[in-house]
Amino acid sequence: MASITDKYFAALNALDREAYLACFSENVLLRDPYGARPLQGTAGLHKFMDGMERTWASFQMTPGDAYAAGNRVAVPWRCVATAKSGKVADFAGVNVFTIDESGLIAQLDGYWDFKAMVAQIS
């Protein structure tokens, strides 16, 4: 059975809104990237996916090994994505997931350089 983080990466790679939403608890706190305005709950997840769908023609995020401690899991990743403009971004980071008692993502903190990614597709 795939872990919730595996399901998360698969949903993003497919740009599958419903599969993405199914990974999270209803009161999720999303800070992706960390330092940006946090997004909260299902409305925040929809806002995040609106941006994904507006920006990317294709998206391939490849996770590395997962490191779990308690109810948190840190996963490094590399992403190569093609914007709707045709420009390609190649960037990397680490996501730290907090998993709730039902096995869903209750919090996601993404550590990566948003400005450097945008510069590649601008």
Q: For 1-25, what is each residue's pLDDT tens digit?
A: 569 999 999 999 999 999 999 999 9
Q: How confident is the model over 90-94, as a mean pLDDT?
A: 98
Residue type, 80: V
pLDDT band, residue 73 (cuts 50/70/90):
very high
Provide the pLDDT for residue 77.
Answer: 98
Domain locations in the chain as residue ranges = 4-121
- What is the three-class DSSP state of 80? strand
Q: Is the pLDDT assigned to residue 93 strictly greater than 60?
A: yes
User: What pLDDT is stored for residue 97 in this prediction?
Assistant: 98
E strands within 38-104? 39-40, 56-63, 67-69, 72-83, 88-99
Comparing CA positions, the residue from 112, 116, 54 lying closest to residue 83 is: 54
Residue that is written with structure tokens 């990743």 in the block:
77
Mean pLDDT over 26-52 rounds to 97
- Please give the CATH number for the structural domain made up of 4-121: 3.10.450.50
> How far is residue 119 CA from its own chain's centroid?
19
Tell me the pLDDT tens digit for each residue of 75-86: 999 999 999 999
